[in-house]
């Protein structure tokens, strides 16, 4: 079968069909790794590009991500069997004092769409939790989200906590959210600021390479 069909169905959010097609592709003897990259991740790449360009919006991303997750669930045991590793490991969360997770969830979806393993720490995450998780789980990147100008200062504390743990440079800190800017990134000394979910995922892949 053409793996492009999986990608196309994923893009229009046909979760059940994506799941069936993934199974069918496995049955045809196509390696899970190939199905993942040429079917699922290909579809999410296109979704990411379109979202970045304002051609599609949050609902389309959500249904595509749901379809991807259904497909990944089918592939997972086979990926493990084939010894396929994620392209990298990151942890993500909305910083302490902030409960807004719509943006954070979008970034997570885009990152998973790039084949990254993402540990979701949820909302209201303390700086030490970010750092501790990254060290214990071997994450190369910490991703911090904030929607409030009152909470974005916590991102600076995350940068300091990484330094205090002696992991500066080794664990990168990425920041994003509506009030966050490149100037702000520069002021707090974070490793990267990205303005949208797709760019965040691309940057994280770069850091994990």
Residues within the interface to another protein (CB under 8 A): 54, 56-60, 62, 99-102, 148-156, 179, 181, 183-184, 187-188
Q: How far is the CB of 75 from another protein (least distance, A)?
A: 25
Q: Which is nearer to another protein, 137 or 181 (CB)?
A: 181
| CB-nearer residue toward another protein: 75 or 142 | 142
- How many CA atoms are closer than 13 Å to the CA of 1, on its beta-carbon side? 22
Q: Is the dihedral of CA 59, 60, 65, 66 positive or negative?
A: positive
CA neighbours closer than 13 Å in the CB half-sphere of residue 206:
12
CB-CB neighbours of 59 under 10 Å: 9
For the bound state, the minimum distance from the C-beta of residue 89 to another protein, rounded and expressed in Å, comes to 27
CB of 154 to another protein, least distance (A): 8
Q: How far is the CB of 51 from another protein (least distance, A)?
A: 10
Closer of 70 and 90 to another protein (Cβ): 70
Q: In this complex, which beta carbon is closest to another protein, that of residue 117 or of residue 124?
A: 124
How far are the Cα atoms of 6, 26, 108, 119, 129 from residue 75, in angstroms, in the given order?
A: 13, 8, 19, 19, 31
Q: Cβ atoms within 10 A of the Cβ of 35, count?
A: 27
Q: How far is the CB of 113 from another protein (least distance, A)?
A: 17
56 CB-contact burial (10 Å; exposed 0-12 / middle 13-18 / buried 19+): middle
Q: How far is CA 14 from CA 43, 44, 183, in A?
A: 12, 13, 41
Cβ nearer to another protein, comparing 130 with 184? 184
């Amino acid at each position: 079968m053409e793996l492009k069909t999986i990608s196309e169905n994923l893009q229009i959010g046909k979760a059940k069909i994506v799941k069936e097609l993934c199974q069918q592709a496995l049955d045809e003897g196509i390696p899970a790794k190939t199905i993942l990259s040429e079917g699922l991740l290909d579809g999410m790449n296109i979704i990411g590009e379109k979202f970045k360009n304002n051609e599609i919006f949050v609902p389309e991303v959500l249904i595509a991500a749901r379809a991807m997750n259904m497909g990944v669930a089918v592939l997972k045991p086979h990926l493990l069997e084939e010894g396929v590793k994620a392209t990298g490991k990151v942890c993500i969360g909305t910083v302490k004092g902030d409960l807004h997770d719509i943006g954070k969830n979008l970034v997570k979806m885009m990152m998973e769409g790039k084949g990254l393993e993402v540990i979701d720490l949820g909302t209201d995450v303390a700086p030490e939790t970010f750092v501790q998780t990254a060290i214990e789980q071997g994450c190369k990147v910490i991703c911090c989200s904030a929607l409030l100008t009152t909470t974005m200062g916590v991102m600076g504390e995350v940068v300091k906590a990484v330094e205090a743990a002696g992991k500066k440079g080794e664990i990168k800190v990425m920041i994003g959210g509506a009030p966050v800017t490149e100037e702000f990134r520069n002021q707090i000394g974070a490793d990267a600021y990205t303005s949208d979910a797709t760019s965040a995922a691309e940057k994280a892949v770069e850091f994990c390479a």
